[in-house]
A and B are shown apart, each in its own frame.
Chain A
Amino acid sequence: MSNLVRSELLKIRTTSTWWWLAIGAFLSIAMAFPLNAWLFNTAVEGNAEDVGLTGDAASAPAQAANLYTSGQYLGLMFVMLIGILMVTNEFFHQTATTTFLATPRRTAVIVSKLIAASLLGFVFWLVTTVIDLGAGAIFLTLNDHGTLLGEWEVQRALLLNLMAYAIWTVLGVGIGTLITNQLGAVITASVLYLIGTQVVSVLFFMLSSWLDSLAVLKWQVLWPAVASQVMITPGENEMLPAWWVGVLVLIGYALVSGIIGVLLTRRRDIS
């Protein structure tokens, strides 16, 4: 198995795809960090309501947590795309034949892709977090708040961010096995990630006013991107499920897509 994981990591290292996605992730940090820094200042200066922040979410630790995970929104999409490409590349470049000749045990191939994907998610998290920690600590210290790194809320956000990166990469592998067409998988997943969330929230809003129930909104968590958001959002209320619900939903998606991926791949004719 370790041979296979090594081979999967080598596949990623020996093409330039990951490099482009890494650049994308860094750009997304570069865009998100100033915005989050501005949000932090607005919130701690007491103008939280102006930017739609209330209660816990407006506290300095919550805003610090947000700052230290800057770039997560697009970063998660990029690792998902890497996961997808790890599978669809095999069909697009017709390397599936070679891969399954070297390892006819197909379950092992998919499992090693899942392991390699989560390792890659870890590396993405590590690098983005190091950048965020550096920039965030400097920003907060210069503004006389201290680093706020001692706060459990901040630490928890960093750890859950790690989990999010690992799970979304794994989810990408699952999606790739379901939709082996490279372009089809990449477009479907990106559109669902970027636009799907807005569509889902509009639908739930309509449903909630029709049923005259705010509790319905909680069920948005079933949508993976929302689950990811819930997971890193502190607090819980009528409309917002607890963070661990988001964790469970995401793990559920990762497991289901992984299992379906293995089953499909075992049966598929490579011709």
Chain B
Amino acid sequence: MSDGQSRPTNDAQIVVSGLSKQYRNVLAVNNLSFTVEPGRVTGFLGPNGAGKTTTLRMLLNLVTPTAGTATIGGRRYPELAEPLRHVGAVLEASSAHKGRTGINHLRVISAAAGLPRQRADEALALVGLTPAAKRKFKGYSLGMKQRLGIAAAMLGDPRVLILDEPANGLDPEGIRWMRGFLKGLAAEGRTVLVSSHLLSEMQLLADDVVIIAAGQLVRQGPVDQVIGSMAQGVRVRVRTPQAEALTSALAGGPARVQTDEHGALLIAGVDAPTVGRAALGAGVELHELTTERPDLERVFLELTAGKAGIR
């Protein structure tokens, strides 16, 4: 086939366009547009109540948009011929019957989707849950429940993975496992869209980010680019009992000096050796001298400042 190369790529691209959702008295999502590419992990970030869950549910046809469209490979979710072979999703508030065993939960889904019966066993093995296959869901720990959700998403070996706050309730070991698992899926060329409010985790996991606040897009792009785009680059943090003396020693150069809420100096425009040398020259006593690189958390807080909070 002549288009054999390009088709998988197009099939796995997510396009959200002008998407809005009005609940009775909340505009949960407001004219939101972004794209998600295959072969990368895309972090979908926003403060609580920003509209992440609502957006993902509209993408999956669980919630009807008030306006706009969301497509996967150019088609709305209900138009996909075999949705579970195309898209796997792990959502908040999706669960299993408390009295059903893990393996039976997966068999029920496989039956509905017309997948072979042994896919249930394979998916369970993939997430390391085989020993708990015949235990009832109510006896599962939070981490096991989350893994069962991922097994359900992997049943159809989909090209697109959508996860809503998958790190919630996981212990550090579980989070590390999840990170490796999702990175591996992206490396295989799949599309991975993960919502989260855990920013340090996202910085380790995501290649791209889509940041929203109050239902609107704030920024989209590769993580490095989004961080680099912020006005504040690398800063040097200095704690000293002689702040004024150091400030005047640096005056006249490229350094821009600010004071943070704890009285430490945040110096931009020069590197740590320059500051150290200036301090030595002026005979200023230093208690701390560290280089601060901007991280996702700082960028996120600056971008979403004033837009967070309960709506």
Q: Is the CB of A4 within 8 A of B112?
A: yes
Structural contact, B62 and A97, CB atoms closer than 8 A:
yes
Residue of A nearest to B113 (CB): A102
Judged by DSSP, the binding face of A is helix
Closest beta carbon of chain A to B153's beta carbon, Å: 9
Among A4, A102, A103, A269, max chain B CB count under 10 A is at A102
Q: Chain B residues with Cβ under 8 A from A104's Cβ?
A: 60-61, 77-78, 80, 83
User: When chains A and B are docked, how far (Å) is the Cα of A100 from the Cα of B100?
Assistant: 18
A1-43 CB mask vs B (1 if < 8 Å, else 0) is 0011011001100111100000000000000000000000000
**Residues in chain B near residue A271, CB distance under 8 A:** 53-54, 57, 62-63, 93
- Give the nearest-CB partner of A3 in chain B: B114
- Please give the number of chain B residues whose Cβ is less than 8 angstroms from any Cβ of chain A in the complex: 34
Residues on the B chain within 8 Å of A15, using CB: 97, 99-100
In whole angstroms, what is the CA distance A93 to B89 when docked? 17
Closest Cβ of chain A: how far from B112's Cβ, in Å? 4
- Does B218 lie at the interface of the complex (its beta carbon under 8 Å from any beta carbon of A)? no
Complex-state Cα separation, A89 to B57, whole angstroms: 20
| Given A14-B101, A16-B99, A97-B93, A270 and B57 contact (CB-CB distance below 8 Å) | yes
Chain B residues whose CB sits within 8 angstroms of the CB of A4 once the complex forms: 112
Residue numbers in B under 8 Å from A103 (CB-CB): 83, 112-113
B108 interfacial contact with A, CB 8 Å: yes
**In the complex, what's the smallest C-beta–C-beta distance from A29 to chain B, in angstroms?**
26
Interface residues of B in 107-135 (CB under 8 A from A): 107-109, 111-114
Residues of the A chain whose Cβ atoms lie less than 8 Å from the Cβ of B89:
101
Looking at A14, A267, A271, the one whose CB has the most chain B CB atoms below 10 A away is A271
A15–B64 Cα distance when bound, in Å, is: 31
Is B84 touching A101 in the complex (CB atoms < 8 A)? Answer: yes
Write out the residue numbers on chain A whose beta carbons fall within 8 Å of the beta carbon of B114. Answer: 3
Q: Distance (Å) between the CB of A10 and the closest chain B CB?
A: 5
A window 249-271: CB within 8 A of B: 267, 269-271
Asked if A100 and B111 make an inter-chain contact with CB atoms under 8 angstroms apart, the answer reads no
B96 within 8 A of A: yes
**Which interface residue of B80, B95, B108 has the most chain A CB atoms within 10 A?**
B108
Name the A residues within 8 Å of B112 (CB-CB). 3-4, 7, 99, 102-103
For A17, the chain B residues whose CB sits under 8 A away are 99
Collect the chain B residues with CB atoms within 8 Å of residue A100's CB. 61-62
The answer to whether A10 and B64 have CB atoms under 8 Å apart is no
B57 CB contacts on chain A under 8 angstroms: 269-271
Kindly identify which residue among A7, A16, A269, A270 contacts B108, using a CB–CB cutoff of 8 Å.
A7
Taking CB atoms, residues of chain A closer than 8 Å to B94 are 94-95, 97-98, 101
Judging by beta carbons under 8 Å apart, are A101 and B83 in contact?
Answer: yes
Q: In the bound complex, how far is the Cα of B91 from the Cα of A98, in angstroms?
A: 9
Are the C-beta atoms of B62 and A98 separated by less than 8 Å? no
CB distance B61 to A102 under 8 Å?
A: no
A43-B89 Cα distance, complex, nearest whole Å: 64
Q: Return the chain A residue nearest B112 by Cβ.
A: A7
Instruction: List B residues 67-90 near A (Cβ within 8 Å).
Output: 77-78, 80, 83-84, 87, 89
CB neighbours (8 Å) of B87 from chain A are 101
A103 and B113 CA atoms in complex are apart in Å by: 7
Return chain B residues, CB-CB under 8 Å to A267.
64
Q: List 28 A-B contacts (CB under 8 A).
A: A3-B114, A6-B111, A7-B108, A7-B112, A10-B104, A11-B97, A14-B104, A14-B108, A15-B97, A94-B94, A94-B95, A95-B96, A97-B91, A97-B94, A97-B95, A98-B96, A98-B109, A98-B152, A100-B61, A101-B62, A101-B94, A103-B113, A104-B78, A267-B64, A269-B62, A269-B64, A270-B62, A271-B54
Nearest 7 A/B pairs, CB to CB:
A7-B112, A97-B94, A104-B78, A7-B111, A94-B95, A14-B104, A270-B62
Having A15-B97, A100-B61, one finds 17 other A-B pairs with CB under 8 Å, namely: A3-B112, A3-B113, A11-B97, A14-B108, A16-B99, A17-B99, A95-B94, A95-B96, A97-B94, A98-B95, A99-B112, A101-B62, A102-B109, A104-B60, A104-B61, A105-B78, A271-B54
